[in-house]
Structure 1
Amino acid sequence: MSTPGFTSEVETVMVHQRETISRLPAYKQGATAGDSGAFKLSSNENPFPPLASVTRAIASALGEIHLYPSMAVAELTDRIAARFDVATENVAFGAGSVEVLSQLIHASAGAGDEVIFAWRSFEAYPILVQVAGATPVPIALTDDECHDLTAMAAAITPQTRLILVCNPNNPTGAFVTTDELHAFMAQVPADVLVVVDEAYGHFNRDASSAVGIDFFRRYPNVAVLHTFSKAYGLAGLRIGYAIAPTAVAANLRRVALPFGVTELAQRAALASLDAEAELSVRIDEIVGERTRVLSALRASGWRVTDSQGNFVWLRTGDGTDRVNAVFTAEGILARAFPGEGLRVTIGTPEQNDRFLVAAAAALLPVTV
């Protein structure tokens, strides 16, 4: 007996889907080690386990997961506003800074609008722009892996609605200086929003680097993106925020996924803010390992630029697949961008030592 309204044959009529979406590449998560014994250094994750105080904060909320979280993220909003001396109306949260970035794009740009960003930079930038129906305008990096702010300024048109500045840049680790960003802002129309994405800001130790909050205070068309995923080690809980002009932040809340920031994430973020002294020690250890890894890479023959992120960038060009194969054989899972290079996260000393062995092995057949 057939069920009314259903057919037993395979449907031949395709429901309407946006053609643009079907052409988009899916965001690629870093390779997973599984039971292989390999070290996963492909996702820029914090190598340290959660702090005990953070684990306790999460556990204390488990008995309430049948309830919706605070959609306003009220307590955490107050803490962030006080921390940066801004109004609560300037703070908007989301499920990771990438979700807040999506909010920024949807609130600012649509069909016929343009969004400018450096390339290569964060892989999600062009995907999110196209999902919003806008046009991505990628601008090639300079030869030393930095944002080409001169070219980015020249690319501004009447259709430009948003400019993304990743500082330090993912995956190259290069940064934008204060003087460079001021000179750039002088060329940006007042009605174009500039977003300073500081997902890796805690690892940036160069005193000449631009600091997003300083530019937010100076310019009415600047927003800043922060995350709890990297330095705070809450990648699995998904929580990030923007500090933005009042009208922009209000629109972010309008386009945000309702109840997107879980109570577990909110409790963990609050506990992390309470434990910043302890977390700072961990960040210092990662920065110290980054310095050691860069030095060892250069000593073994690699030509690498400095990084201010929790990762290093190897510009391997056409040799990327070969080098990545060596890394995989040596038990290192890196983030490969075919034809361009590899990004390798700074892990524990043991993980970094194995990476350095793999990097030396990759240089044996052909010097990159």
Structure 2
Amino acid sequence: MTSIDDLRAIPPAETSEAEGSSPGLRPRGVLGKLPRYAAGKPPVMVDGLESFKLSSNENPLPPLPAVLAAIASETSINRYPDPMTTALRTELAAYLGVPATDIVTGAGSLGALNQILATFAGQNDFDAPDEVVYAWRSFEAYPISVGLAGAAGIQVPVRADGTHDLEAMAAAITDRTRVVLLCTPNNPTGPILTRDEVVDFLAEVPSHVVVVIDEAYQEFVRRPDAVNGIELYRDYGNVIVLRTFSKAHGLAGLRVGYSVSQPSLTEHLRVSAVPFAVSQIAEHAAVTSLRHIDEVEARVQLIVDERTRVVEGLRGLGWNVPEAEGNFVWLALGDHTQDFAARAGEHALSVRAFGSEGVRVSIGEETANTRFLELCGEYTHRPAAR
């Protein structure tokens, strides 16, 4: 009988150069039109300096000790996870005060978003593609996800202060619009949407258009008038709320996100949901973190306090900084964007540069934040306070 080792010893079949290069194989044309997702780079090592990564909006604190202990004992990874993530949805339902049937999980909030787009927007048979309206600049994965879904992205520029121009977004909705994306706080610029302005916006949106309220950074928000998607979705059958365990809970590497919407939407989302997208380890970690939510909130407050220190420090230096309600700040540096990022690298800090638009800097460890402020104090091409 042939063993596995015998099979491994068999050399691969020879192929011609033409066969090996596969010149006839081509990806979908849309791939050549999409931007590449650029993940935050690690910091450059600088002699004598501890390096810090401030480029990916990661929580600088590790998961709670209870979470680390819980996942260390997870041994059933030879089995498929629960495709319905029942334990997590049950825990979330109690925490959010919503029915568990209104929750659909995904591999991070981006995975949950891709499920939404696969369900409601794409290329229809012999018709022009559906349209997805979103603010820009916003989360850089939006144009990629929209394009891969087969839809056409309609980008509406944010205002000078980094806020969504909801009036212009409402005007951009056409008969082909199927989805609108609202990112609050907006990544990378920082401002939130208020409840009143979102309610007014929803009054302008046709009821058959899905409105996604992307709240990846909701736990860091402190403005009392900020929109809370969970409070709104009950009253609007076309609203879907996106949230994640990546930021506040510090579980970015485990990929746990979810959407919340009414049954008329979730019944379709479950069809497009990726099976087994959330692993046993990820589900166990998320459930444990929710059961220690007071500790999570205390850690979030530490980051918020540091955010306040950084924003006040920047403004004290004369920098014009937009409202910051996530775990990051935005520097609208324009043509000086790449130069500032390079200077940060010389100080063993990695930041996220966006072309010639600006730099997003995550709130990190206290030492990192202090060094960032020192760099900004020395930098002369700062956006002036108005």
2:132 paired residue number: 115
Give the conservation status (yes or no) of the 8 Å contact 1:107–1:251: yes
Give the conservation status (yes or no) of the 8 Å contact 2:234–2:262: no
2:321 paired residue number: 304
1:6 paired residue number: 15
- Among 306, 324, 340, the alignment partner of 1:289 is 306
Give the conservation status (yes or no) of the 8 Å contact 1:198–1:224: yes
1:148 paired residue number: 165
In angstroms, what is the RMSD of aligned CA positions? 1.6
2:52 paired residue number: 39
Change (3 A) 1:8 1:253: same
| Structure 1 counterpart SS, 2:25 | coil
| Structure 1 residue 199 corresponds to structure 2 residue 216 | yes
Cα distance in 1 for partners of 2:12, 2:368 equals 57
1:26 paired residue number: 36
Equivalent runs, 1:109-188 vs 2, <5 Å: 109-111=121-123, 112-188=129-205
Write out per-residue CA displacement over residues 186-241 of structure 1, whole angstroms, 9 at most, x where no aligned residue.
00000001010000000000001111011101111101001000000000100000
| Structure 1 counterpart SS, 2:353 | strand
- Pairwise CA distance, 1:367: 4.0
Which runs of 5 or more structure 2 residues have no equivalent in the other structure? 1-10, 124-128
**Structure 1 counterpart of 2:122, one-letter code:** G
Moved more, 84-93 or 177-186: 84-93
**Structure 1 counterpart of 2:339, one-letter code:** R
| Structure 1 residue 98 corresponds to structure 2 residue 115 | no
Give the conservation status (yes or no) of the 8 Å contact 1:89–1:250: no
2:25 paired residue number: 15
Equivalent runs, 1:57-96 vs 2, <5 Å: 57-61=70-74, 63-96=75-108
Cα distance in 2 for partners of 1:140, 1:3 equals 53
Give the conservation status (yes or no) of the 8 Å contact 1:53–1:271: yes
**Structure 1 counterpart of 2:178, one-letter code:** R
**Structure 2 counterpart of 1:32, one-letter code:** P
| Structure 2 counterpart SS, 1:13 | coil
| Structure 1 counterpart SS, 2:21 | coil
- Pairwise CA distance, 1:22: 2.6
Equivalent runs, 1:325-344 vs 2, <5 Å: 325-344=342-361
Moved more, 202-211 or 316-325: 316-325
2:295 paired residue number: 278
Change (3 A) 1:168 1:12: closer
- Identity over aligned residues, as a percent? 44
Give the conservation status (yes or no) of the 8 Å contact 2:54–2:361: yes
| Structure 1 counterpart SS, 2:73 | helix
- Pairwise CA distance, 1:87: 2.1
- Pairwise CA distance, 1:4: 6.5
Moved more, 336-345 or 28-37: 28-37
| Structure 1 counterpart SS, 2:204 | coil
Give the conservation status (yes or no) of the 8 Å contact 2:44–2:349: no
| Structure 1 counterpart SS, 2:252 | coil
2:8 paired residue number: none
Change (3 A) 1:239 1:4: closer
Write out per-residue CA displacement over residues 69-110 of structure 1, whole angstroms, 9 at most, x where no aligned residue.
111101111111222222222110011000000000110101
| Structure 2 counterpart SS, 1:305 | coil
TM-score, normalising length from structure 2? Answer: 0.91
TM-score, normalising length from structure 1? Answer: 0.95
Which runs of 5 or more structure 1 residues have no equivalent in the other structure? none
| Structure 2 counterpart SS, 1:293 | helix
Give the conservation status (yes or no) of the 8 Å contact 2:31–2:148: yes
Write out per-residue CA displacement over residues 287-315 of structure 1, whole angstroms, 9 at most, x where no aligned residue.
01001000111111211122000000000
- Pairwise CA distance, 1:243: 0.3
Give the conservation status (yes or no) of the 8 Å contact 1:103–1:255: yes
Cα distance in 2 for partners of 1:177, 1:286 equals 22
1:221 paired residue number: 238
Cα distance in 2 for partners of 1:141, 1:186 equals 20
Cα distance in 1 for partners of 2:239, 2:192 equals 17
Change (3 A) 1:34 1:340: closer
2:69 paired residue number: 56
1:348 paired residue number: 365
